[in-house]
């Protein structure tokens, strides 16, 4: 049987922090308990500031708990691209920051004795075609010049021929849920209070509020992958996309000793893992698809599972999806949310490298709050505007948004909610309204408005996670309309109110 959930969430520890249920005060209020939020809390609490971290679901289990959990500064072909956009100094700072992120994770795990299956591994990006090999060779020259631990090799330990690979030494991999929950457990209780099952629905620069309570603070940090609502306009500067992810038991003799990603598309990204009983596993991801486009989702999984089976003899025991945001100029936005210098701080657009970039963000945000100098400030400046740097695909993504807003999904409507078979989902037109309907395996109908509560696009079905996902800016909702993930903060309306 294939589990429709993240392996990391299924095998990690649980947490049970209370919900926010009163009016409290802290130096810093953090919204979101992924690696960025929890590491920021750790940095600030260890410097003596009081922190209240408020997580809508359970800490470490959303985007971080669905990641590949590669701890690396090797971000595919990023460095040549960043150098072209931000110059050699910018690319050097990006590399230094992410190398610091890797070291910080390893140091925190060691200092606190966090049992998170952390292993030092090399990270490889490989090319199988001649053109891609040429690009990779140039990338390796750039990376070495920037001081990164890069080398070229013809043998990456993969069971198929490659043209060349770029190897980064002294990188790492871990179990992300064990790490985040383990780090949270080490936070000093007198300095850091954590609340779960507490969705923030309202905020201003000095206060956040949930249904049950509020936090008044000098600073608010939005550690929500994409800032909530319309904050800073970041929803228009980051391009959302989904990844198909699978993990399965593997023959230990066939698990290569590194972390890998291909230059060629669809990307092949993979890594091994040892469970607590010593069993070997492999994780695969790479093919992307647009939120809510179930045909693309099916094609992505079919492609991924064919590759895993043919190349490593692995079939899926766990299958899930995860989302990423690519910033319009390929460097994350980290810092103050507006150039007015207000007290809302954000980090977003991690470009699929959120483990190291999320840790970079925590270091930088903690320094900004404390007023410490940090050499990374201007590179990651969240208020920079570089319209000329916008990538072609970002413009194409914006065009897609316009299409979804005028109802691109209506072409997929079912005849009626009653016609839905068990396990089936569709957008139906009922009394002139767009209704998102899903009939579960037991035959119960779940019907909600198909209109995203962020800015009004139509949601589409995610067959793997059984959620309604918005293609415009990446909000995700469960089949009963509850918010899984922002920027939306309000549930999809009930069917009768649609």
Residues binding ligand FES (CB under 6 A): 235, 452, 454-457, 470, 472-475, 487-488
Reported as type and span, the H/E element at residue 435 is: strand 433-439
| Least Cβ distance, residue 363 to ligand FES (angstroms) | 29
The residue (of 7 and 289) whose beta carbon lies closer to ligand FES is 289
The residue (of 45 and 472) whose beta carbon lies closer to ligand FES is 472
d(CA 195, CA 103): 28
The residue (of 132 and 465) whose beta carbon lies closer to ligand FES is 465
The residue (of 167 and 454) whose beta carbon lies closer to ligand FES is 454
| Least Cβ distance, residue 42 to ligand FES (angstroms) | 30
| CA-to-CA dists, residue 169 to 268, 324, 363, angstroms | 20, 25, 23
| Least Cβ distance, residue 487 to ligand FES (angstroms) | 6
| Least Cβ distance, residue 94 to ligand FES (angstroms) | 28
The residue (of 133 and 488) whose beta carbon lies closer to ligand FES is 488
| CA-to-CA dists, residue 137 to 87, 126, 132, 301, 453, angstroms | 19, 10, 9, 30, 46
Helices and strands counted in the chain (H then E):
9, 24
The residue (of 37 and 487) whose beta carbon lies closer to ligand FES is 487
The residue (of 191 and 473) whose beta carbon lies closer to ligand FES is 473
| Least Cβ distance, residue 474 to ligand FES (angstroms) | 6
| Least Cβ distance, residue 226 to ligand FES (angstroms) | 8
Write the burial class of residue 244 (CB in 10 Å: 0-12 exposed, 13-18 middle, 19+ buried). buried
CB atoms within 10 A of CB 135: 14
| Least Cβ distance, residue 457 to ligand FES (angstroms) | 4
| CB within 8 Å of 387: residues ≥ 6 apart | none
| Least Cβ distance, residue 260 to ligand FES (angstroms) | 32
The residue (of 230 and 306) whose beta carbon lies closer to ligand FES is 230
Note whether 9 and 65 are within 8 A (CB).
yes
| Least Cβ distance, residue 263 to ligand FES (angstroms) | 31
Reported as type and span, the H/E element at residue 87 is: helix 78-112
How many Cα atoms occupy the beta-carbon half-sphere of 195 within 13 Å?
A: 25
- Tell me which long-range contacts 264-272 makes (C-beta under 8 A, separation of at least 24): 264/127, 264/128, 264/129, 264/132, 266/300, 266/303, 266/304, 267/76, 268/307, 269/68, 270/308, 270/312, 271/68, 271/69, 271/70, 271/121, 271/173
| CB within 8 Å of 23: residues ≥ 6 apart | 213, 214, 216
- Residues written for the chain: 498
The residue (of 182 and 227) whose beta carbon lies closer to ligand FES is 227
| CA-to-CA dists, residue 181 to 154, 357, 424, 432, angstroms | 39, 19, 35, 46
| Least Cβ distance, residue 330 to ligand FES (angstroms) | 21
- Where residue 263 falls (left for φ over 0; alpha for ψ -120 to 50; beta otherwise) is alpha
The residue (of 195 and 203) whose beta carbon lies closer to ligand FES is 203
């Amino acid at each position: 049987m294939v589990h429709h959930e993240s392996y990391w969430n299924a095998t990690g520890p649980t947490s049970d922090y209370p919900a926010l249920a009163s009016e409290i005060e802290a130096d810093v209020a953090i919204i979101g308990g992924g690696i960025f939020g929890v590491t920021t809390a750790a940095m600030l609490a260890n410097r003596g500031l009081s922190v209240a971290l408020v997580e809508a679901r359970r800490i470490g289990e959303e985007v971080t708990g669905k990641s590949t959990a590669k701890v690396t500064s090797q971000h595919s072909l990023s460095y040549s691209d960043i150098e072209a956009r931000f110059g050699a100094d910018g690319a050097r700072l990006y590399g230094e920051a992410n190398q610091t992120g890797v070291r910080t994770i390893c140091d925190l795990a060691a200092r606190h004795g966090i049992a998170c299956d952390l292993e030092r591994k090399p990270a490889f990006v490989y090319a199988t075609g001649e053109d891609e090999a040429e690009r990779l060779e140039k990338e390796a020259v750039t990376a070495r010049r920037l001081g990164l631990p890069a080398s070229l090799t013809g043998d990456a330990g993969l069971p198929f021929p490659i043209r060349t690979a770029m190897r980064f030494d002294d990188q790492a991999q871990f179990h992300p849920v064990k790490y985040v929950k383990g780090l949270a457990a080490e936070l000093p209780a007198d300095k850091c209070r954590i609340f779960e099952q507490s969705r923030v629905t309202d905020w201003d620069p000095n206060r956040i509020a949930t249904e049950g309570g509020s936090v008044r603070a000098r600073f608010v940090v939005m550690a929500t992958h994409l800032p909530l609502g319309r904050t800073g306009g970041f929803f228009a500067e980051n391009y959302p996309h989904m990844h198909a992810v699978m993990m399965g038991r593997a023959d230990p003799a066939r698990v290569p000793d590194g972390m890998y990603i291909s230059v060629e598309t669809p990307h092949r990204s993979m890594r091994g893992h040892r469970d607590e009983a010593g069993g070997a596993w492999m994780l695969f991801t790479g093919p992307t698809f647009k939120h809510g486009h179930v045909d693309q989702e099916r094609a992505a999984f079919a492609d991924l599972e064919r590759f895993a089976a043919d190349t490593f003899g692995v079939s899926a025991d766990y299958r899930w999806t995860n989302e990423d945001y690519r910033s319009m100029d390929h460097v994350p936005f980290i810092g103050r949310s507006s150039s007015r210098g207000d007290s809302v701080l954000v980090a977003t657009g991690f470009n699929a490298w959120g483990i190291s970039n999320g840790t970079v963000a925590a270091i930088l945000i903690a320094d900004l709050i404390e007023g410490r100098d940090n050499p990374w400030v201007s590179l990651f400046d969240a208020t920079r505007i570089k319209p000329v740097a916008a990538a072609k695909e970002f413009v194409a993504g914006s065009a897609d948004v316009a299409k979804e807003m005028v109802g691109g999904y209506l072409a997929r409507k079912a005849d009626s909610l009653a016609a839905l078979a068990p396990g089936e989902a569709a957008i139906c037109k009922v009394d002139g309204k767009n209704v998102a309907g899903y009939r579960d395996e037991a035959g119960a109908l779940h019907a909600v408005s198909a209109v995203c509560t962020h800015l009004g696009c139509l949601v589409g079905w995610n067959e793997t996670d059984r959620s309604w996902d918005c293609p415009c800016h990446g909000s995700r909702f469960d089949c009963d309309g509850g918010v899984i993930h922002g920027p939306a903060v309000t549930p999809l309306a009930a069917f009768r109110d649609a």
